[in-house]
């Protein structure tokens, strides 16, 4: 019985430790100067997800990243101007979080949120708003 418990524990430990090293399949390393609109979001100091700079005060991200009781603005911070989510660049405090009112984890529909930061982004080589296409959007299907 002890041996079986030991095997299960080691197997589970191995599975959980591998989750920390999950990467995007087929992804490539890049730099913030190639994607200066990209930011990282941390919740209570831990990496949560990424977002994009919309303008000098707003970031676009997913509602699934920041929803939940513990994700109040003071627990969330945004790092810009860095290729590393845990160091470098500039960290911005969050003023307000707005999630789509119809978002639920059950369907993943309306998985969108915007975040207002307390101080403005200072645009430069490593911090820029994302550029959107000039062509109009069309509804494909419903």
Give per-residue pLDDT as tens, 40-50: 999 998 999 99
Q: What's the full length of the chain, in residues?
A: 142
Q: Are 97 and 118 in contact (CB under 8 A)?
A: no
Whole-number pLDDT of residue 101 = 92
Residue 70's pLDDT is what? 58
Sketch out the chain's domains with CATH numbers.
31-130 (2.40.10.10)
pTM of the full structure: 0.76
Q: Which residues contact 33 (CB under 8 A, 6 or more apart)?
A: 125, 126
Per-residue model confidence as pLDDT tens digits over 100-136: 999 988 888 999 999 999 999 999 999 999 998 887 7
- What is the chain's mean pLDDT, rounded? 82
């Amino acid at each position: 019985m002890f041996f079986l418990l030991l095997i299960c524990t080691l197997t589970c430990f191995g599975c959980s430790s591998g989750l920390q090293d999950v990467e995007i399949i087929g992804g490539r390393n890049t730099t913030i100067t190639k994607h200066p609109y990209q930011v990282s979001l941390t919740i209570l100091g831990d990496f949560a997800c990424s977002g994009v700079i919309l303008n000098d005060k707003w970031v676009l991200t997913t509602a699934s990243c920041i929803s939940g009781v513990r994700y109040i603005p003071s627990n969330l911070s945004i790092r810009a101007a860095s290729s590393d989510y845990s160091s470098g660049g500039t960290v911005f405090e969050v003023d307000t979080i707005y999630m789509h009112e119809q978002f639920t984890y059950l369907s993943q529909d309306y998985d969108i949120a915007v975040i207002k930061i307390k101080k403005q982004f200072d645009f430069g080589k490593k911090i820029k708003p994302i550029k959107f296409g000039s062509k109009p959007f069309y509804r494909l299907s419903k």
